[in-house]
């Protein structure tokens, strides 16, 4: 009886090791496989959304530097809606494009993008809480943070999409350079994010970073 229990224990350990090896292998495979869960239509929709949000800001917040909290709220809501549009589309397309590897591919994409998003959110909180006088820097900082996330994710995407990270880095630096003279301008958000997302849509469509039904 003792030897039977001991054999069962060894068998369970072997099974756990095998499952762990399979999980590691799937994770490594996901990291080395080009991600095909993005679609041009979803990114184009978020570009239009960014331009619409800029229009809403112009209408409702003609002097956003006097109501920074409303400015941040507007663009946080816009970012959440954009994330929802892309996220739902990614889940659906990944399950078709990557089949059994879909979950690992989605988790890998999140791991690449999430640090920049969390850093941007924390940076926004710290500025609003402790240094509201430099809130005019937020549009530029958001764009720089997004560029870092894109650079991190580009290892699983075709090389031309690096240009999207370059776009957001360049526009972010321009906003930081001149933003003090045009604090929290709608153009500083609508143009970089609107054009940037439409650029992403064009690159995704051209280089086929989608599943076959696009």
pLDDT tens track for 93-144: 776 655 555 666 677 777 778 899 999 999 999 999 999 999 999 999 999 9
Average pLDDT of the residues in 153-180: 90
Q: Which two tokens stand for residue 209?
A: 């970073």
Q: Between 156 and 59, where is the model more confident?
A: 59
pLDDT of 155 higher than 90? no
Looking at the chain, how many residues does it have?
A: 214
Q: Between 113 and 80, where is the model more confident?
A: 80
> What pLDDT is attached to residue 166?
96
> What pLDDT is attached to residue 62?
92
Single pTM value for the model: 0.81
Helices marked H in the chain — which ranges? 2-32, 40-60, 68-97, 102-130, 138-153, 162-178, 187-207
Q: Which two tokens stand for residue 167?
A: 């776009």
pLDDT of 13 higher than 70? no
> What pLDDT is attached to residue 199?
95
> What pLDDT is attached to residue 210?
47
Q: Between 88 and 3, where is the model more confident?
A: 88
Q: Which two tokens stand for residue 207?
A: 């280089």
Going by C-beta distance under 8 Å and a sequence separation of 6 or more, which residues neighbour residue 155? 112
């Amino acid at each position: 009886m003792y030897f039977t229990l001991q054999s069962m224990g060894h068998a369970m350990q072997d099974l756990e090791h095998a499952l762990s090896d399979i999980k590691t292998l799937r994770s490594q495979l996901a990291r080395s496989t080009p991600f095909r869960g993005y679609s041009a239509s979803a990114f184009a929709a978020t570009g239009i959304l960014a331009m619409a949000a800029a229009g809403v800001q112009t209408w409702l917040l003609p002097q956003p530097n006097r109501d920074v909290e409303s400015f941040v709220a507007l663009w946080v809501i816009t970012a959440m809606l954009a994330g929802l549009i892309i996220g739902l589309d990614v889940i659906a397309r990944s399950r078709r494009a990557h089949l059994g590897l879909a979950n690992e591919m989605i988790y890998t994409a999140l791991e690449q993008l999430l640090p920049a998003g969390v850093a941007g959110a924390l940076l926004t909180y710290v500025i609003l809480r402790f240094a509201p006088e430099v809130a005019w820097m937020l549009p530029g900082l958001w764009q720089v943070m997004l560029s870092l996330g894109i650079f991190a994710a580009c290892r699983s995407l075709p090389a031309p999409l690096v240009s999207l990270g370059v776009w957001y880095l360049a526009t972010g630096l321009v906003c930081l350079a001149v933003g003090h003279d045009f604090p929290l301008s709608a153009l500083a958000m609508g143009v970089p994010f609107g054009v940037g997302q439409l650029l992403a849509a064009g690159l995704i469509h051209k280089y086929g970073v989608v599943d076959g039904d696009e």
